[in-house]
Structure 1
Amino acid sequence: MFNISFKIFENDGAVEKEINGADGYFQFEICDETYGILITENIDEFSVSIYWWLNYFLEAVLILKTENYVLISDIEKPKIWIELLKEKSLVNMSKVTADKPEGSGAIETKEMPNLIHQYWKDKRISYEILKTEVVNKTKLYIEELKVLNNELNKDILHLESLIVEVEK
């Protein structure tokens, strides 16, 4: 089982170049583990970038089409990564700690220095289930963003172009 949930916080003060609805709660569940937070109250201190989480998951799914290893950085936490290791049609997902060296990005395809499986490890799902959930939840997110923003917003168009690449 793999499920993504999110709740958008509207940002009425967003300037024209920003995207309204980028932040809020983001959570995913895999097997018996949950990562992130999703509560009824809107508490800014607990909000994260839904936009970037979905963007990074789309990029990871795209990379896993041709490669076997991806790390997604939790940009809100200094040493936390979500590790995805593809073996044939299955993906093992783990929450790991590792240094984030100078110049490392939010998405990496090589193991980071001092990587430790300190939390949950090797939660297994099929690549197709991962791909389908990421694409479907991103499409849902885009629909909600289009209500709050101009449909031609560059960030919305970027997510749509990533979906096209993933679905090829």
Structure 2
Amino acid sequence: MTSSDQTKHSTTQGLGLGTRLAVVGLSGDLPVSLRCELPVGYEAAGTARAQLNRHFADRLTPAEQDSAKLILTELVANAVEASSSSGLIWLEAQLAAGELLLEVFDQSGEVPHRRPADDLAEGGRGLLLVEELSTHWGWRPEPGGKVVWAVARASAA
């Protein structure tokens, strides 16, 4: 791991897991939060992007929305791949103090790591994208799996 990897990647505490769908909106610099569960499947990433857009579109610039949606897509796709087909994944997002924290729970205890991908590989670039688009990212173990999280810039549109 290079020194820049160590700066952007860590295993610190973040938000806890939520249940179903809950949205908390507060004014000023106080946080705006989203929590939802998604069924494991190909539609999970699209549903996650739609929820993110619905709850944060008026609070993020178009470029910040694009980056956040790409980060979230990669985190959810990895969670879907790591979880059993009959399970659920959890999404939690919190916007506060110029940062958008994105967290995704999956049912695997396996440590996330960037895989080397050659030019012809179809996969293996997700965490590289997350690392490049986020200010930092990490993971933590949770009962029944783990949470992978990333922090994106949010200048408050």
Output the TM-score relative to the length of structure 1.
0.26
- Structure showing greater relative contact order (alpha-carbon pairs closer than 8 Å, 6 or more residues apart): 2
Output the TM-score relative to the length of structure 2.
0.27
Q: Whose radius of gyration is greater, 1 or 2?
A: 1
